[in-house]
Amino acid sequence: MTVVLSGIQSSGRLHLGNYFGAIRQHVALQQEPGEHLYFIADYHALTSSRDPAELRDNAREVALTYLALGLDPARATLFRQSDVPEVCELAWLLACVTSMGLLERAHSYKDKVAKGLKPNVGLFTYPVLMAADILAYGSTVVPVGKDQQQHVEMTQDIAQSFNHLYGPCLTVPQPRIPSEEHLAKVPGVDGEKMSKSYGNSIWIFEEGKLLKNAVNRITTDSRPPEEPKDPSSVLLLRFLELFLPADEFAQWCERVRAGGAGAPGYGHLKLRLIEAIEATFGPARARRKHLLENPAEVERVLAEGGTHARAQARATVDRCYRACGLR
């Protein structure tokens, strides 16, 4: 049976990059046959979060976002990572068969250290806990962006090392990468990759004046509308590509490329982007407001999801314990 698993870190309000890079794919995948599990990675968030109340609020926000955007608890299991402590047990077993060299090659660790984040053991061993997250449930497919593909490959290496030593205890998963190239790096308002830590993101549920202000922050230049432009040089068009049908997007690009009296100015592009964001997320925004007024509904989904996921993880950990000689 196909078992699809992915997680998202609970580090604050989710933005357009999170939606197009992960959430939209997760919601669509639940229509496919098989089991689908999505976890809120609050253990992972501890590598940088030091505020307990904020950590809890962020985990709740991720749940609100997924449910509002269409994740159906009848089709997919949504749960908090910390509701399955078995993944920490499995992480220790996996750490004992993982080489230091493998962890030292992790792109995410090197990138975060290069950006000035003070390293800790949790950050260094992040790929081992991620491997435990994936392997605990017998996952066969892991939908990830290209920036996370290495972690799935590391999980494959770790699982194969464990199985080589102790027998076929763990299922070796395969990554699933989005086919749309323009989703590989959703831009921030400054043109760099959208990230909360860079301060260049747009919240999925932004609305009204705050949404207008966010769109107005998107970098433009002083070229007049009538000047012909290469569409790839216009950051606003990279945002519109995420939302518009292909034929309409092509028309906007052609008008920008041609220039002249009928060419749109940056103001026109911003207005169309605001309209597209409103149309895409308006219904989900209403569902989110309903869920905010009914917190018990969200907690019930997470509790039931945690119970289901934990039973599967317990079976995997017990099997690995026996193989190692601990039971």
77 in Cβ contact with 305 (< 8 Å): yes
pLDDT over threshold 60, residue 110: yes
- pLDDT confidence of residue 183: 61
Residues 3-184+295-324, CATH architecture: 3-Layer(aba) Sandwich (3.40)
Q: Which of 110, 118, 185, 193 is catalytic?
A: 193
Residue whose entry in the numeric block shows the structure tokens 């593909």: 149
Residues 196-288, CATH architecture: Orthogonal Bundle (1.10)
Tokens, residue 290: 């309903």
Residue whose entry in the numeric block shows the structure tokens 């229509």: 31
pTM over 0.85: yes
Q: Where exactly are the structural domains of the chain?
A: 3-184+295-324, 196-288
**Which residues partner with 86 through β-bridges?**
none
95 in Cβ contact with 46 (< 8 Å): no
Q: Model confidence over 126-185: pLDDT tens digits?
A: 999 999 999 999 999 999 877 789 999 999 999 999 999 999 999 999 999 877 655 667
* Annotation marks residue 110 as catalytic: no
Percentage of the chain with pLDDT > 90? Answer: 85
> What is the overall mean pLDDT for the chain?
94
Q: Model confidence over 270-283: pLDDT tens digits?
A: 999 999 999 999 99
Q: Model confidence over 274-317: pLDDT tens digits?
A: 999 999 999 999 999 999 999 999 999 999 999 999 999 999 99
Q: Which of 110, 112, 118, 270 is catalytic?
A: 112
Q: Which of 196, 209, 229, 289 is catalytic?
A: 196
Common-topology check for domains 3-184+295-324 and 196-288: no
144 in Cβ contact with 176 (< 8 Å): yes
- pLDDT confidence of residue 111: 81
* Annotation marks residue 112 as catalytic: yes
* Angstrom distance (rounded) from CA 96 to CA 103: 13
Q: Model confidence over 174-218: pLDDT tens digits?
A: 999 877 655 667 999 999 999 887 899 999 999 999 999 999 999
